[in-house]
Amino acid sequence: MPAVGRTYWLTEPCRIRREDDSLRIERPDNTPVRIPITDVRDLIAFDHVDINTSALSILSRNGVSLHVLDHYGNHAGHFAPTDAMSSGPVLRRQVELTADPDLRATIGRALILAAGENLRWSLDTDHLDPALATLRAKLPSCDERDAIMAQEGNYRRTGWAVLDTQLPPWLRLNGRTRRPPTNAGNAFISYLNTLVYARVLTAIRSTPLHPAIGFLHADTDRRRNTLALDLAEPFKPLFAERLLKRAASQKHLKPSDFETEVGRASLSKNGRKKVAVLMREELDTTVYHRTLKRKVSYEELIHLEALKIVRLCLEDKPYKPFRPWW
């Protein structure tokens, strides 16, 4: 991953080509946009992309990953450059740690509790306090992964119901649905969750950690990068629920930003652009970090989270999931 560089959001159908050892992006209506390859950290494609081998090879040579989202905002897959960050000792230790059931349960509980508290923080309402108290009381007695996930499910359901009370009727979730999301609110949450997942994956890729060896989601998702799912957990409320709430209260979203059919919904072309702008601005927001004694962006917070796992592996420093302190 390049040290400097930006995330490029491709919200329209486009063609990615290589030109002069750099990138050229062709869009159907406009003149081609040339992007200096050294300025690209990763690419996120919301719409159809057409890419060829020579473009992929230059992405790979510069350590740029490409995330592809499908029509409903699911993470369809990503192109990752050949591993340049691999480190045997870290990986061996990661495997050892994730095989220990006690540690897995401890970290799983910590992640769920952090996600719960972050949801309470981002919704900023005391309607959620009783549910959070129940979660706090019940979690310590859960040792199995399924039991932990069940507690999380209960809490999340309450959380979404509370979120519904803060939204205009047309954006309400009315119960979380996925694959495909059934209404506008669900489509928005799906997109944002996928974007968080993609950001976490990029962050993990810049460390020697293996994204598929996780703690909490260890056995459920056989085909996905479970460590990325784990680390995305505490960040989801910070982006998905909070941005939905904010966009609704600022009347930033309109029904025309969504393509709603019976039983399924997705973002329209304009909506995708809006979501990309929202997420980009949010990732660029900075807060003062008390230990580092400098400002860090939300984007960097995700990277710091991955580094915490590296420290857990190398120095046995206990892992404390992210919580907003501001």
Q: Which residues bind other proteins (CB under 8 A)?
A: 3-4, 6-12, 14, 19-22, 25, 27, 33-39, 273, 276-277, 280
Q: Is 35 left (phi over 0), alpha (psi -120 to 50) or beta?
A: beta
Least separation in angstroms between residue 54's CB and other proteins is 15
Least separation in angstroms between residue 156's CB and other proteins is 31
Tokens of residue 267, six digits:
């973002």
Pick between residue 50 and residue 124 the one whose CB is nearest to other proteins.
Answer: 50
Least separation in angstroms between residue 128's CB and other proteins is 33
Q: Which contacts qualify for 153-160: CB closer than 8 Å, 24 or more apart?
A: 155/112, 155/116, 155/119, 155/131, 156/119, 158/128, 158/131, 159/116, 159/119, 159/120, 159/123, 159/128, 159/131, 159/241
Pick between residue 279 and residue 309 the one whose CB is nearest to other proteins.
Answer: 279
Residue 116, CA distances (Å) to 35, 148, 200, 213 in order: 40, 12, 19, 23
Tokens of residue 231, six digits:
């680390």
Pick between residue 33 and residue 150 the one whose CB is nearest to other proteins.
Answer: 33
Least Cα distance to 321 among 108, 100, 94 occurs for 108
Pick between residue 11 and residue 182 the one whose CB is nearest to other proteins.
Answer: 11
Q: Phi and psi dihedrals of 296, rounded to 5?
A: -125, 150
Give me the amino acid identity at 15.
R
Least separation in angstroms between residue 302's CB and other proteins is 18
Pick between residue 123 and residue 279 the one whose CB is nearest to other proteins.
Answer: 279
Q: Phi and psi dihedrals of 298, rounded to 5?
A: -60, -35
Q: Where are the alpha helices (DSSP H) in 206-286?
A: 226-232, 236, 242-249, 269-284
Pick between residue 5 and residue 324 the one whose CB is nearest to other proteins.
Answer: 5
- Residue 83 DSSP label: P
Least separation in angstroms between residue 273's CB and other proteins is 7
Least separation in angstroms between residue 37's CB and other proteins is 6
